[in-house]
Structure 1
Amino acid sequence: MSEFEARRGAVSAARQSLFLVFCIGNERYALQAIDVVEVLPRLPLKPIAQAPSWVAGVFAWRGAVVPVIDLCTLTFGQSAQTRTSTRLVLVHYRPDAQQAGQVLGLILEQATDTLRCDPADFRPYGLDNPQAPYLGPVREDAQGLLQWVRVNDLLDESVRAVLFPTPPLNFDDLEGRA
Protein backbone atom coordinates (compact mmCIF):
# COMPACT_ATOMS: atom_id res chain seq x y z
CA MET A 1 0.00 0.00 0.00
CA SER A 2 1.35 3.39 -0.93
CA GLU A 3 1.75 6.19 1.60
CA PHE A 4 -1.05 8.13 -0.15
CA GLU A 5 -3.48 5.19 0.14
CA ALA A 6 -2.59 4.74 3.80
CA ARG A 7 -3.27 8.43 4.53
CA ARG A 8 -6.53 8.37 2.57
CA GLY A 9 -7.64 5.29 4.55
CA ALA A 10 -6.76 7.01 7.83
CA VAL A 11 -8.75 10.12 6.86
CA SER A 12 -11.72 7.96 5.82
CA ALA A 13 -11.61 6.06 9.13
CA ALA A 14 -11.44 9.35 11.06
CA ARG A 15 -14.71 10.51 9.47
CA GLN A 16 -16.51 7.35 10.51
CA SER A 17 -18.84 7.20 13.50
CA LEU A 18 -20.25 4.28 15.41
CA PHE A 19 -24.02 3.75 15.40
CA LEU A 20 -26.25 1.47 17.49
CA VAL A 21 -28.64 -0.28 15.10
CA PHE A 22 -32.12 -1.36 16.23
CA CYS A 23 -35.51 -2.16 14.74
CA ILE A 24 -39.03 -0.87 15.00
CA GLY A 25 -41.10 -3.68 13.56
CA ASN A 26 -39.24 -4.73 10.40
CA GLU A 27 -37.62 -1.34 9.84
CA ARG A 28 -34.03 -0.52 10.79
CA TYR A 29 -32.96 2.61 12.65
CA ALA A 30 -29.73 3.89 14.21
CA LEU A 31 -28.61 6.09 17.07
CA GLN A 32 -25.18 7.66 17.04
CA ALA A 33 -23.18 5.76 19.68
CA ILE A 34 -21.82 9.01 21.10
CA ASP A 35 -25.38 9.67 22.36
CA VAL A 36 -25.52 6.32 24.20
CA VAL A 37 -24.71 6.24 27.92
CA GLU A 38 -25.37 2.55 28.57
CA VAL A 39 -27.25 -0.41 27.09
CA LEU A 40 -29.20 -2.43 29.67
CA PRO A 41 -31.54 -5.39 29.46
CA ARG A 42 -35.19 -4.43 29.60
CA LEU A 43 -35.98 -3.67 33.25
CA PRO A 44 -39.22 -3.28 35.23
CA LEU A 45 -40.46 0.31 35.20
CA LYS A 46 -42.68 2.38 37.48
CA PRO A 47 -45.58 3.66 35.33
CA ILE A 48 -46.38 7.39 35.28
CA ALA A 49 -50.09 8.15 35.65
CA GLN A 50 -51.68 10.25 32.90
CA ALA A 51 -48.49 10.27 30.81
CA PRO A 52 -48.64 9.84 27.03
CA SER A 53 -48.91 6.16 26.02
CA TRP A 54 -45.34 6.11 24.74
CA VAL A 55 -43.92 7.14 28.12
CA ALA A 56 -43.16 3.67 29.48
CA GLY A 57 -42.33 4.81 33.02
CA VAL A 58 -39.34 5.58 35.20
CA PHE A 59 -36.65 3.62 37.02
CA ALA A 60 -33.83 4.33 39.45
CA TRP A 61 -30.35 4.36 37.94
CA ARG A 62 -27.23 5.35 39.87
CA GLY A 63 -29.14 7.53 42.30
CA ALA A 64 -31.28 9.28 39.69
CA VAL A 65 -34.82 8.66 38.47
CA VAL A 66 -34.72 8.22 34.69
CA PRO A 67 -37.80 8.59 32.46
CA VAL A 68 -38.17 5.95 29.75
CA ILE A 69 -39.99 6.16 26.45
CA ASP A 70 -40.97 3.30 24.15
CA LEU A 71 -39.71 4.40 20.76
CA CYS A 72 -41.94 1.85 18.99
CA THR A 73 -45.05 3.34 20.58
CA LEU A 74 -43.87 6.91 19.92
CA THR A 75 -43.19 6.18 16.26
CA PHE A 76 -45.93 3.75 15.18
CA GLY A 77 -48.31 3.44 18.15
CA GLN A 78 -47.45 -0.19 19.00
CA SER A 79 -45.47 -1.25 22.07
CA ALA A 80 -42.05 -2.79 21.65
CA GLN A 81 -42.16 -6.56 21.62
CA THR A 82 -40.78 -8.36 24.63
CA ARG A 83 -37.75 -10.19 23.23
CA THR A 84 -34.35 -11.08 24.59
CA SER A 85 -32.95 -8.50 22.14
CA THR A 86 -35.21 -5.69 23.39
CA ARG A 87 -33.03 -3.30 25.36
CA LEU A 88 -33.32 -0.30 27.62
CA VAL A 89 -30.85 2.13 26.09
CA LEU A 90 -29.85 5.16 28.14
CA VAL A 91 -28.98 8.21 26.07
CA HIS A 92 -27.69 11.73 26.65
CA TYR A 93 -30.64 14.01 25.97
CA ARG A 94 -29.70 17.64 25.27
CA PRO A 95 -32.58 19.49 23.60
CA ASP A 96 -30.83 22.80 24.12
CA ALA A 97 -27.09 23.41 23.98
CA GLN A 98 -27.51 25.95 26.81
CA GLN A 99 -28.89 23.36 29.27
CA ALA A 100 -27.16 20.48 30.99
CA GLY A 101 -27.85 17.08 29.45
CA GLN A 102 -30.27 14.63 31.00
CA VAL A 103 -30.33 10.86 30.88
CA LEU A 104 -33.32 9.46 29.01
CA GLY A 105 -34.19 5.79 28.63
CA LEU A 106 -35.37 4.32 25.32
CA ILE A 107 -36.95 0.91 24.87
CA LEU A 108 -35.56 -0.40 21.59
CA GLU A 109 -36.19 -3.70 19.79
CA GLN A 110 -33.28 -5.76 18.48
CA ALA A 111 -30.72 -3.28 19.77
CA THR A 112 -27.80 -5.67 19.49
CA ASP A 113 -25.79 -4.52 16.46
CA THR A 114 -23.50 -1.64 15.66
CA LEU A 115 -22.38 -0.08 12.42
CA ARG A 116 -19.36 2.06 11.68
CA CYS A 117 -19.85 4.43 8.76
CA ASP A 118 -19.41 8.00 7.62
CA PRO A 119 -22.35 10.12 8.86
CA ALA A 120 -22.30 11.81 5.44
CA ASP A 121 -23.57 8.50 4.00
CA PHE A 122 -27.00 9.39 5.44
CA ARG A 123 -29.08 11.44 3.00
CA PRO A 124 -32.35 13.38 3.35
CA TYR A 125 -35.32 11.25 2.33
CA GLY A 126 -37.35 14.07 0.83
CA LEU A 127 -40.26 14.31 3.29
CA ASP A 128 -40.88 16.94 5.91
CA ASN A 129 -42.37 15.06 8.88
CA PRO A 130 -43.15 17.62 11.62
CA GLN A 131 -44.93 14.93 13.68
CA ALA A 132 -41.66 12.98 13.96
CA PRO A 133 -38.80 15.52 13.82
CA TYR A 134 -36.46 12.96 15.42
CA LEU A 135 -36.48 10.81 12.26
CA GLY A 136 -33.44 11.97 10.37
CA PRO A 137 -31.78 11.09 7.08
CA VAL A 138 -31.46 7.57 5.64
CA ARG A 139 -28.58 5.41 4.48
CA GLU A 140 -28.89 2.61 1.95
CA ASP A 141 -26.96 -0.62 2.33
CA ALA A 142 -27.35 -4.29 1.36
CA GLN A 143 -30.14 -4.74 3.95
CA GLY A 144 -32.20 -1.77 2.73
CA LEU A 145 -32.67 1.67 4.26
CA LEU A 146 -31.39 2.61 7.70
CA GLN A 147 -32.81 5.77 9.30
CA TRP A 148 -30.93 7.94 11.78
CA VAL A 149 -32.86 8.81 14.97
CA ARG A 150 -31.80 12.15 16.42
CA VAL A 151 -31.99 11.84 20.21
CA ASN A 152 -32.21 15.57 20.94
CA ASP A 153 -35.35 15.89 18.81
CA LEU A 154 -37.31 13.08 20.50
CA LEU A 155 -39.45 15.10 22.90
CA ASP A 156 -41.58 18.14 22.26
CA GLU A 157 -41.58 21.00 24.75
CA SER A 158 -44.71 19.90 26.64
CA VAL A 159 -43.42 16.35 27.26
CA ARG A 160 -39.97 17.67 28.15
CA ALA A 161 -41.58 19.87 30.82
CA VAL A 162 -43.28 16.80 32.38
CA LEU A 163 -40.27 14.47 32.24
CA PHE A 164 -37.56 17.05 32.98
CA PRO A 165 -39.14 19.94 34.95
CA THR A 166 -37.14 23.16 35.18
CA PRO A 167 -36.09 23.74 37.86
CA PRO A 168 -36.02 20.09 38.97
CA LEU A 169 -38.49 19.10 41.66
CA ASN A 170 -37.16 19.69 45.15
CA PHE A 171 -38.24 16.82 47.39
CA ASP A 172 -37.69 18.93 50.53
CA ASP A 173 -40.39 21.32 49.31
CA LEU A 174 -42.76 18.43 48.66
CA GLU A 175 -42.29 17.02 52.16
CA GLY A 176 -43.25 20.39 53.66
CA ARG A 177 -46.68 20.14 52.02
CA ALA A 178 -47.63 16.87 53.72
Structure 2
Amino acid sequence: MSDVKTSEAPAKAQRTLQIVVFKLGQEEYGLQIDQIKEVVITPTITRMPQTPPYIKGVANIRGNVIAIFDLEERFNLTRTQKEGNKYTLVVESEDVKLGLLVSEVPNTISVNPSDLDESVSIINDASTESNYIKGIIKSRDRLIILIDIFKVIDYEMSESIKKTVGAS
Protein backbone atom coordinates (compact mmCIF):
# COMPACT_ATOMS: atom_id res chain seq x y z
CA MET A 1 0.00 0.00 0.00
CA SER A 2 1.18 3.44 -0.83
CA ASP A 3 1.00 6.43 1.48
CA VAL A 4 0.58 8.87 -1.39
CA LYS A 5 -2.31 11.23 -0.76
CA THR A 6 -4.26 12.52 -3.67
CA SER A 7 -5.93 15.82 -3.27
CA GLU A 8 -9.43 15.74 -4.59
CA ALA A 9 -10.43 18.93 -6.26
CA PRO A 10 -14.05 19.92 -5.77
CA ALA A 11 -16.14 18.34 -8.48
CA LYS A 12 -17.37 21.73 -9.51
CA ALA A 13 -15.91 25.02 -8.45
CA GLN A 14 -18.52 27.42 -7.21
CA ARG A 15 -19.29 29.55 -10.22
CA THR A 16 -20.78 32.95 -9.72
CA LEU A 17 -24.36 33.46 -10.78
CA GLN A 18 -25.09 36.22 -13.30
CA ILE A 19 -28.37 37.85 -12.27
CA VAL A 20 -30.33 40.54 -14.12
CA VAL A 21 -31.92 42.74 -11.44
CA PHE A 22 -35.01 44.93 -11.94
CA LYS A 23 -37.62 46.57 -9.73
CA LEU A 24 -41.21 45.46 -9.42
CA GLY A 25 -43.21 47.53 -6.97
CA GLN A 26 -40.85 48.51 -4.16
CA GLU A 27 -38.76 45.34 -4.34
CA GLU A 28 -35.88 44.11 -6.44
CA TYR A 29 -36.32 40.94 -8.45
CA GLY A 30 -33.81 38.93 -10.40
CA LEU A 31 -33.66 36.44 -13.23
CA GLN A 32 -30.69 34.32 -14.15
CA ILE A 33 -29.09 35.91 -17.18
CA ASP A 34 -29.55 32.79 -19.29
CA GLN A 35 -33.34 33.27 -19.10
CA ILE A 36 -33.13 36.66 -20.85
CA LYS A 37 -32.45 37.04 -24.55
CA GLU A 38 -32.35 40.85 -24.70
CA VAL A 39 -33.60 44.14 -23.25
CA VAL A 40 -35.42 46.51 -25.60
CA ILE A 41 -37.33 49.77 -25.37
CA THR A 42 -40.97 48.75 -25.07
CA PRO A 43 -42.62 48.84 -28.50
CA THR A 44 -46.27 49.56 -29.21
CA ILE A 45 -48.41 46.92 -27.53
CA THR A 46 -51.60 45.68 -29.19
CA ARG A 47 -54.20 44.62 -26.63
CA MET A 48 -55.70 41.17 -27.15
CA PRO A 49 -59.27 40.29 -26.18
CA GLN A 50 -60.06 37.60 -23.61
CA THR A 51 -56.68 37.78 -21.86
CA PRO A 52 -55.97 38.33 -18.16
CA PRO A 53 -55.19 41.95 -17.18
CA TYR A 54 -51.49 41.18 -16.56
CA ILE A 55 -51.06 40.10 -20.19
CA LYS A 56 -50.87 43.52 -21.78
CA GLY A 57 -51.12 42.22 -25.32
CA VAL A 58 -48.65 41.45 -28.07
CA ALA A 59 -45.80 43.42 -29.62
CA ASN A 60 -43.54 43.10 -32.62
CA ILE A 61 -39.94 42.77 -31.46
CA ARG A 62 -37.40 42.22 -34.22
CA GLY A 63 -39.99 40.61 -36.47
CA ASN A 64 -41.37 38.30 -33.77
CA VAL A 65 -44.85 38.83 -32.34
CA ILE A 66 -44.60 38.05 -28.63
CA ALA A 67 -46.91 38.25 -25.61
CA ILE A 68 -46.15 41.05 -23.14
CA PHE A 69 -46.49 40.26 -19.40
CA ASP A 70 -46.77 42.81 -16.59
CA LEU A 71 -45.34 41.03 -13.54
CA GLU A 72 -46.21 43.94 -11.21
CA GLU A 73 -49.84 43.32 -12.00
CA ARG A 74 -49.46 39.53 -11.97
CA PHE A 75 -47.88 39.59 -8.51
CA ASN A 76 -50.35 42.26 -7.24
CA LEU A 77 -47.59 44.76 -6.50
CA THR A 78 -48.00 48.51 -6.08
CA ARG A 79 -46.74 50.38 -9.11
CA THR A 80 -43.56 52.34 -8.55
CA GLN A 81 -43.97 54.75 -11.43
CA LYS A 82 -47.06 56.23 -13.00
CA GLU A 83 -45.59 56.86 -16.46
CA GLY A 84 -45.50 53.21 -17.47
CA ASN A 85 -42.96 50.61 -18.39
CA LYS A 86 -40.22 51.79 -20.70
CA TYR A 87 -38.27 48.57 -21.15
CA THR A 88 -39.09 44.99 -22.02
CA LEU A 89 -37.01 41.97 -21.04
CA VAL A 90 -37.33 39.43 -23.84
CA VAL A 91 -37.42 35.95 -22.34
CA GLU A 92 -37.04 32.89 -24.51
CA SER A 93 -37.03 29.13 -24.08
CA GLU A 94 -37.59 26.28 -26.50
CA ASP A 95 -41.34 26.49 -25.87
CA VAL A 96 -42.08 30.16 -25.35
CA LYS A 97 -40.93 33.67 -26.16
CA LEU A 98 -42.40 36.66 -24.36
CA GLY A 99 -41.66 40.09 -22.96
CA LEU A 100 -41.66 41.28 -19.35
CA LEU A 101 -42.36 44.94 -18.69
CA VAL A 102 -39.96 46.86 -16.42
CA SER A 103 -39.81 50.59 -15.72
CA GLU A 104 -36.05 50.98 -15.32
CA VAL A 105 -33.04 49.69 -17.20
CA PRO A 106 -32.16 46.44 -15.43
CA ASN A 107 -28.63 45.88 -14.22
CA THR A 108 -26.55 42.74 -14.00
CA ILE A 109 -24.77 41.56 -10.88
CA SER A 110 -22.54 38.60 -10.10
CA VAL A 111 -23.30 36.73 -6.91
CA ASN A 112 -21.79 33.73 -5.22
CA PRO A 113 -24.10 30.74 -4.88
CA SER A 114 -23.54 31.01 -1.12
CA ASP A 115 -25.37 34.39 -1.22
CA LEU A 116 -28.55 32.64 -2.41
CA ASP A 117 -30.90 31.50 0.34
CA GLU A 118 -33.14 28.84 -1.17
CA SER A 119 -35.13 28.13 2.01
CA VAL A 120 -38.01 30.43 1.06
CA SER A 121 -40.40 27.85 -0.38
CA ILE A 122 -42.64 28.23 2.65
CA ILE A 123 -43.47 31.83 1.69
CA ASN A 124 -44.28 31.14 -1.96
CA ASP A 125 -47.71 31.91 -3.34
CA ALA A 126 -49.83 29.23 -1.70
CA SER A 127 -52.30 29.22 -4.58
CA THR A 128 -49.73 28.16 -7.15
CA GLU A 129 -48.73 24.62 -7.82
CA SER A 130 -45.16 25.48 -8.73
CA ASN A 131 -42.54 27.30 -6.73
CA TYR A 132 -41.37 30.10 -8.96
CA ILE A 133 -39.38 31.86 -6.26
CA LYS A 134 -35.95 30.23 -6.39
CA GLY A 135 -34.60 32.09 -3.38
CA ILE A 136 -33.46 35.37 -1.90
CA ILE A 137 -30.09 36.81 -2.82
CA LYS A 138 -28.29 38.69 -0.05
CA SER A 139 -26.03 41.22 -1.73
CA ARG A 140 -24.54 43.74 0.69
CA ASP A 141 -27.57 45.56 2.14
CA ARG A 142 -29.93 44.39 -0.63
CA LEU A 143 -32.37 41.51 -0.74
CA ILE A 144 -33.21 40.41 -4.27
CA ILE A 145 -36.02 37.94 -4.97
CA LEU A 146 -34.78 35.43 -7.54
CA ILE A 147 -37.58 34.02 -9.68
CA ASP A 148 -37.71 31.35 -12.34
CA ILE A 149 -39.77 33.05 -15.04
CA PHE A 150 -40.38 29.79 -16.87
CA LYS A 151 -42.16 28.35 -13.82
CA VAL A 152 -44.37 31.46 -13.68
CA ILE A 153 -45.16 31.05 -17.37
CA ASP A 154 -45.74 27.28 -17.10
CA TYR A 155 -48.21 27.88 -14.26
CA GLU A 156 -50.04 30.61 -16.19
CA MET A 157 -50.26 28.45 -19.31
CA SER A 158 -51.54 25.44 -17.40
CA GLU A 159 -54.17 27.59 -15.63
CA SER A 160 -55.22 29.06 -18.96
CA ILE A 161 -55.57 25.57 -20.46
CA LYS A 162 -57.62 24.41 -17.46
CA LYS A 163 -60.01 27.35 -17.90
CA THR A 164 -60.30 26.75 -21.65
CA VAL A 165 -60.92 23.02 -21.22
CA GLY A 166 -63.34 23.66 -18.35
CA ALA A 167 -65.33 26.13 -20.45
CA SER A 168 -65.97 23.65 -23.29
TM-score interval, normalised by the smaller of the two chains: 0.7 to 0.9
- How high is the sequence identity, in percent, across the aligned residues? 20
Distance 1:34 1:160 in 2: 27
Alignment check: 8 A CA contact 2:24 2:79 kept: no
Out of 141, 144, 148, the residue aligned to residue 142 of structure 2 is 144
Which structure shows the bigger proportion of residues in helix conformation? 1
Identify which range, 107-116 or 31-40, moves more after superposition.
Answer: 107-116
Letter in 2 for 1:43: P
C-alpha distance 115-131 of structure 1, shift in aligned 2 (>3 A): farther
Q: CA deviation at 1:63?
A: 3.0
Matched positions, count? 146
Distance 2:65 2:79 in 1: 22
Compute the TM-score of the two structures, normalised by the length of structure 2: 0.73
Q: CA deviation at 1:82?
A: 5.4
Query: What do residues 38-61 of structure 1 show as CA deviations (whole Å, max 9, x unaligned)?
Result: 100122200011210100110122
Query: What do residues 71-127 of structure 1 show as CA deviations (whole Å, max 9, x unaligned)?
Result: 11011255573569841000124xxxxxx3321110023342111112442112242
C-alpha distance 108-65 of structure 1, shift in aligned 2 (>3 A): same
Alignment check: 8 A CA contact 1:80 1:107 kept: no
C-alpha distance 90-159 of structure 1, shift in aligned 2 (>3 A): farther
Q: CA deviation at 1:32?
A: 0.5
Instruction: Name the structure 2 match of 1:175.
Output: none
Instruction: Name the structure 2 match of 1:47.
Output: 47
C-alpha distance 146-90 of structure 1, shift in aligned 2 (>3 A): same
C-alpha distance 84-142 of structure 1, shift in aligned 2 (>3 A): farther
Identify which range, 141-150 or 83-92, moves more after superposition.
Answer: 83-92
Distance 2:84 2:107 in 1: 14
C-alpha distance 91-161 of structure 1, shift in aligned 2 (>3 A): farther
RMSD of aligned C-alpha atoms? 2.8
Distance 1:62 1:110 in 2: 21
Alignment check: 8 A CA contact 1:22 1:112 kept: yes
Asked if residue 32 in structure 1 is aligned to residue 26 in structure 2, the reply is no
Distance 1:73 1:152 in 2: 17
* Aligned residue runs from structure 1 range 112-127, under 5 A: 112-123=106-117, 124-125=119-120, 126-127=122-123
Letter in 1 for 2:29: Y
Instruction: Name the structure 1 match of 2:151.
Output: 153
